[in-house]
A = this chain, B = another copy of it.
Amino acid sequence: MGSTPAHGPRLGVWIIGARGSVATTVVVGAAAVAAGLAPPVGCVTELPDFRDAGLTPLGDLVFGGCDITGIPLAKRAEQLVAAGVVPADLPASLQRALAAADREIRPGVGAAAGSQAPQAAAIAGQLADFRERHGLDRVVVVNLASTAPQPDPHPAFTDLAALRAALAGPDPVLPPHALYAYAALGAGCGYVDFTPSGAMRLPALDELARSIGVPYTGNDGKTGETLVRSALAPMFAHRALRVRAWFGTNLLGGGDGATLADPSAAASKNASKARSLTELLPDPVEGQVHIDEVPALGDWKTAWDHIAFDGFLGVRMTMQFTWQGCDSALAAPLVLDLVRLLGRAMARGAVGVQPQFAFFFKDPMGAREHRLVPQYERLLAWTRTPL
């Protein structure tokens, strides 16, 4: 990890929710691929298309972050072995990488009474400390915390000055995940909203990113049902087939299912799923998405979609698909892609929302293109602009 290649300066990755399944898979996976112990399957930025994009090598990423639990990463990795997510031999081979990341994980800040300005300062301090001790050129903060409900509207959300004043006041203003985004941007870090927190949809935070001069992207990583929809729906639209109904059922094991059994969190997720279909199809479509928590599925998820459509002369036809995937294994490589790409955006001096990363998100900020292949082509074109 010592050498710094020309186009790959040292990049810090600071994860909110750093002991979760996805985060653990991120740390294990980056180390395994860098060490040649696993092929870079699932990692978009390791495709030949990205060879000359000047991205930080996976082995040069430095991991840290925060979490409200204290279970060691090595133990979390063993749990992922038992769950079939991580190959049995990896944790032992990667002890050093896991221990290094473990040392850089701080206790997370939760919802609490009192003024939030000191909390924000503490987080910013952790980030500055992380950067300095490792001599990092840049730090990207990634939100991998559980899906959070949308915060209730607040006048301070629309204006940065108002937000700063409110944070200095006696009462909490921002939900925890948005406080992290506030602190991260303020500390000059890039920010990736990978879980559907909606924090970066607050105008005050966008204003902050622009005033500080840092880029951000989001939100809600596109890893399963919506990924397939963004590949399939253009087929119906471009073939002039009239989709009448598009229903989906998602069976989720693990933590994500449990979180989404809470209707207000699910609402956040469902909104981004529905938005996607509306953008992809020309006509209104009957449809609903169910999310069920199924602990028996472990880290796996199953999505089933039923599509009823009309063909020529109104003939009714149907299509269905089933997707059985491992959530952490689908999400983790995208996190690696995004931190490397946002690192490149920072190197290019990019500021504010970065729509060229829409390819990775259910509900891409700053972009209206939801079709998967054009999203890919746009991403690729951007990586070919000079650094």
Identify which of residues 230-258 in chain A touch chain B, using a CB-to-CB cut-off of 8 Å: 231-232, 234-235, 238-242, 244-245, 247, 249, 251
A138-146, A190-198, A295-303 - the one binding chain B: A295-303
Q: Which residues of B contact A245 (CB under 8 A)?
A: 251, 294, 296-297
Q: Which residues of B contact A1 (CB under 8 A)?
A: none
C-alpha spacing A304/B238, complex, angstroms: 22
Question: In the complex, which of the residues A84, A302, A316 has the most CB atoms of chain B within 10 Å of its own CB atom?
Answer: A316
Which are the 5 A-B pairs with shortest beta-carbon distances?
Answer: A244-B296, A42-B312, A231-B235, A321-B321, A315-B329
Additional A-B contacts beyond A44-B239, A249-B249, A320-B321 (6; CB < 8 A): A44-B240, A90-B313, A238-B372, A245-B251, A251-B306, A321-B322
Q: Which residues of B contact A326 (CB under 8 A)?
A: 311, 315, 317
Do B317 and A319 touch across chains, with their CB atoms under 8 A apart? no
Q: Which residues of B contact A5 (CB under 8 A)?
A: none
* A318: min CB distance to chain B, Å: 5
Do B314 and A241 touch across chains, with their CB atoms under 8 A apart? no
Q: Which residues of B contact A311 (CB under 8 A)?
A: 41-42, 325-326, 329-330, 333
Do A234 and B373 touch across chains, with their CB atoms under 8 A apart? yes
Number of copies: 4
- Whether A310 sits at the interface, judged by CB under 8 Å, is yes
- Whether A323 sits at the interface, judged by CB under 8 Å, is yes
Q: Which residues of B contact A240 (CB under 8 A)?
A: 40-44, 46-47, 333
Q: Which residues of B contact A38 (CB under 8 A)?
A: 313-314
C-alpha spacing A28/B315, complex, angstroms: 14
Given contacts A288-B292, A296-B308, A322-B322, contact A42 B247 (CB under 8 A): no
Q: Which residues of B contact A87 (CB under 8 A)?
A: 313-314
Q: Which residues of B contact A44 (CB under 8 A)?
A: 238-240
Q: Which residues of B contact A322 (CB under 8 A)?
A: 318-322
Do A313 and B25 touch across chains, with their CB atoms under 8 A apart? yes
Q: Which residues of B contact A242 (CB under 8 A)?
A: 39, 41
- Whether A263 sits at the interface, judged by CB under 8 Å, is no
- Whether A371 sits at the interface, judged by CB under 8 Å, is yes
C-alpha spacing A298/B245, complex, angstroms: 11
- Whether A57 sits at the interface, judged by CB under 8 Å, is no
Chain A 22-63 per-residue mask, 1 if CB under 8 angstroms from chain B, else 0: 000100110010000011111110110000000000000000
C-alpha spacing A342/B81, complex, angstroms: 40
Do A241 and B304 touch across chains, with their CB atoms under 8 A apart? no
* A327: min CB distance to chain B, Å: 10
Q: Which residues of B contact A42 (CB under 8 A)?
A: 239-241, 310-312
Q: Which residues of B contact A43 (CB under 8 A)?
A: 240, 312
Pick from B232, B294, B332: contact of A286, CB below 8 A. Answer: B294
